Chain A
């Protein structure tokens, strides 16, 4: 199968307009005859479900939480980008587009990114209309701040809780449609498979997390907005339940998985403090606006930070990247931290940390300004570490945070399974090999509010009279497979807990498929994952039954999928013989230790096709064509 990305014709700034003018429409009176399933209710899912319901479609929305408002979009702190140019600092749609392509290290699809930049301005309008309380200037206009990887101020924010406020906007729009009867909400339901009829996505199989009942639901189209897979590393900034099962099950049914090895390790997280650690906490990148990152110049310097004089500190990002300094993109800032820690200059327990110091900013702006900007982040840091960041520098270290890879989608966000759409972090489309800060919220909402409602409509227009019922054999077959798998997990009756396996897998992934990867390490990781997975299915211990709330069983299914996905990540990382963005192959670096791309051989999207449990996945390539942006070595110096 050749990958058709369905890029509309015309100049780049007219493509989306052209596409919208040519999509097929559904007669308003017919819209209520169509059922659309939306899985997930984060920014992309809630926005898509609400917007499609507003158009008149019957929407069924499934989440594993007790309420759609719990999705992990809620935890995004720093902000959302938009090319409003309210600051008159030279911003434009083109510049946001350019920054995003460059930030992604020239591994994203130009046309998608351009559309994202165009839609960014509509998102802010929509959010404000919904009552999102973005920060304001004294004159009442909207305020902006800067973020990593760019030199304009285009980030809109609501204290350190921008994701929360944007999600509440989408959630409230969704709740309104639930009240109107346009959306049927299924909380505490986990999607465990997608059902294909004649090659098209026609429904899903879910488990009710209270009763354990397995049920099939049919629809005319299915939208997955189920987030990313950074929890493959066990310790990440993702929520504990964040998982890849929905997209992984779709992959096994024929949706290609694109660029699985592109993972983002976020530079500013609170370092791990012990074996009991269950997750890592992000400190918003916005802190890098005013905080300065440093380590002692000499390895093994055990003095307290206030005892180390200025001349004996190495502000390594400012030194290496004078023009961007502490605002270098995430992949570069993370590798910088790893490098100095590997040299023995790390600080804090275990030497895995660097200082993020606000002393200069407090001196310059006063404590109250810093408090207003970052108060809740400082409080959170103090809660977790019992240290006061107003007085002593924060300690930070990189942690897995976001996954740029995801299911392959065309310009319309449809996967390689007709009728199966993928939005938000779950797809691969916009961030290339590295995502810039404040772009995830933008992408989730662009997909959900503005892209999916029209592109799904285009597909539905051709589905009139093709409704299927969940009584069909295809549903029964898929449901039987789901039940069998659950039976296997409950029936294993082994000796080791799910978490103990997950930690071991996470460790393999972090050490060998994390911030720096080598061919040798990846090969051994693949072998070790296979051995561990085999042991898992034999020796995992899931107590209780499948007919009750059973959190160990929920986790067991997700971890089983993480094993397979982790293996594919390593396979992809091994095949990509270059460094690009978050994918850093030690064999491919410049003399200065920067990522060295190979545009001659790797200017493509890797899209993997599932070929069976005991067969190697097949690689398909979508060539990346750059017409607007000239390929260049990314420089933030």
Chain B
């Protein structure tokens, strides 16, 4: 199939960017979106033009490296999939495709389609863990976890930290990402000791970098792991509970 691409090119964070039009010819419908860009890049190299820079690695939808706005939608038109798992058979011969980097103030452009997503790591650093040093764990089966709780926790833990939720959100909010980690850990018995401290610390760092959630729900629609927006409600509940606990603790001196 033959396609026309408009790709955002920007040499560096401070340089001016612009859309540049490329023709992608003879693309196999079985190719992934990134393999289609590989073909374009080989042609660009042939013509002595610098290839389009984009982040990618595992190409199995699990590392979370890749991601771009495809016709205005994070990871493209098919739900529940990362860009690397989006195949060209979902497009039509002759289509025009607009390719942009993640749109979010918190993710400045590094080059072309590559952005800096490091604020997401900072949210994890604020408390997205269980404080247990190597060697001090108890025997694994002394902790019984109901299957349903484990499954729910796993639903949240599947997040790949790609940033699509932020990129799609009109407010550039990171609630879905943050709530997924808060819920993964907060649902499990191991996560209880730090549950309320964790949510306060993570939400505070989140708010430093990202916009506010006004429940558009677009994050859920583009999430490649189909993480449910219910986790945001769960995080908000924990956050409120944590604030009340703090007030009580402070009132008691």
Interface residues of A (CB under 8 A from B): 47, 50-51, 54, 65-67, 69-70, 72, 74-75, 84, 86, 122, 124-131, 133-142, 158-159, 161, 164-165, 168, 171-173, 175-176, 178-179, 187, 210, 239-241, 273-274, 276-279, 281-282, 380, 383-386, 449-450, 453, 497, 499-500, 541, 543-544, 548-549, 551-552
Contacts and interface: CB of A to CB of B under 8 A. Distances in A.
Given A175-B124, A549-B53, A75 B190 contact: no
Contacts of A383: 61, 81, 85, 87
Name the 10 nearest CB pairs between A and B, nearest first.
Answer: A140-B144, A172-B129, A129-B137, A125-B137, A179-B125, A51-B134, A128-B140, A133-B154, A239-B57, A549-B111
A423 to B, nearest CB: 14
A82 to B, nearest CB: 9
A131 B63 contact: no
Contact of A65 (B45, B65, B158): B65
A552 B49 CA distance: 12
Interface in B83-125: 85, 87, 89, 110-111, 114, 116-118, 120-121, 124-125
B191 A131 contact: yes
A131 B65 contact: no
Residue with the greatest number of chain A CB neighbours at <10 A, chosen from B49, B57, B110, B143: B57
Contacts of A125: 137-140
A541 B45 contact: yes
B35 A75 contact: no
Given A273-B28, A278-B35, A173 B117 contact: no
A54 B129 CA distance: 14
Residue with the greatest number of chain A CB neighbours at <10 A, chosen from B39, B42, B62: B62
Nearest to A172: B129
Contacts of A74: 58, 62-63
Nearest to B155: A133
Contact of B124 (A128, A135, A172, A453): A172
A126 B137 CA distance: 5
Nearest to A72: B58
A131 B184 contact: yes
A571 B133 CA distance: 44
A172 B87 contact: no
A241 B34 CA distance: 14
A122 B120 CA distance: 30
Given A128-B190, A552-B51, A140 B145 contact: yes
A66 B65 contact: yes
A499 B40 CA distance: 13
B134 A54 contact: yes
B42 A136 contact: no
A179 B85 CA distance: 34
A120 B32 CA distance: 38
Contacts, number: 206
B128 interface: yes
B85 A140 contact: no
28 contacts: A50-B134, A51-B134, A67-B117, A69-B161, A74-B62, A86-B141, A126-B134, A127-B140, A129-B130, A131-B190, A133-B154, A141-B141, A141-B144, A158-B157, A171-B124, A172-B129, A175-B121, A175-B124, A175-B128, A239-B57, A239-B59, A239-B63, A276-B27, A383-B87, A449-B135, A499-B38, A549-B114, A552-B50
Contacts of B81: 383
Contacts of B160: 164
Given A133-B184, A541-B45, A75 B30 contact: no
Interface of B: 11-12, 27-28, 30-32, 34-36, 38-39, 42, 45-46, 48-51, 53, 55-65, 81, 85, 87, 89, 110-111, 114, 116-118, 120-121, 124-126, 128-141, 143-147, 150, 153-154, 157-158, 160-161, 184-185, 188, 190-191
Nearest to A159: B154
Contacts of B51: 543, 551-552
Given A54-B133, A72-B58, A278 B150 contact: no
A278 B34 contact: yes
A498 B176 CA distance: 39
B150 A139 contact: no
Nearest to B188: A131
Contacts of A450: 134-135
A176 B124 CA distance: 8
A75 B58 contact: yes
Contact of A453 (B48, B60, B134): B134
Contacts of B131: 176
B206 to A, nearest CB: 15
Contacts of A165: 154, 157
Contacts of B143: 128
Contacts of A172: 124, 128-130
A133 B63 contact: no
A70 B64 contact: yes
A317 B46 CA distance: 46
A69 B117 CA distance: 12
B102 to A, nearest CB: 12
A519 to B, nearest CB: 35
A341 to B, nearest CB: 20
Residue with the greatest number of chain B CB neighbours at <10 A, chosen from A129, A138, A141, A541: A129
Given A281-B59, A383-B81, A386-B89, 12 more contacts: A66-B55, A69-B64, A70-B64, A122-B137, A125-B138, A131-B130, A161-B158, A210-B110, A276-B27, A450-B135, A497-B45, A541-B45
Contact of B147 (A65, A137, A544): A137
Contacts of B134: 47, 50-51, 54, 126, 173, 449-450, 453
Given A69-B64, A172-B128, A133 B57 contact: no
Contacts of B140: 84, 124-125, 127-129, 142
A279 B65 contact: no
B118 A66 contact: yes
B35 A67 contact: no
B49 to A, nearest CB: 7
B153 A133 contact: yes
A75 B130 contact: no
Nearest to B59: A279
Given A133-B154, A172-B130, A70 B137 contact: no
Contact of A133 (B38, B117, B136, B188): B188
A129 B34 contact: no
A274 B128 contact: no
Contacts of B62: 74-75, 161, 164
Nearest to A170: B134
B53 A551 contact: yes
Contacts of A159: 154, 158
B159 to A, nearest CB: 9
Contacts of A130: 129-130, 132, 137, 190
Contact of B60 (A380, A449, A544): A380
Given A141-B141, A497-B42, A497-B45, A544 B50 contact: yes
Contact of B137 (A128, A241, A278, A500): A128
A158 B110 contact: no
Given A125-B140, A129-B130, A383-B85, A135 B190 contact: no
B50 to A, nearest CB: 5
A377 to B, nearest CB: 11
Residue with the greatest number of chain A CB neighbours at <10 A, chosen from B12, B87, B121, B184: B121
A385 B87 CA distance: 9
Given A131-B184, A175-B129, A274-B30, A136 B60 contact: no
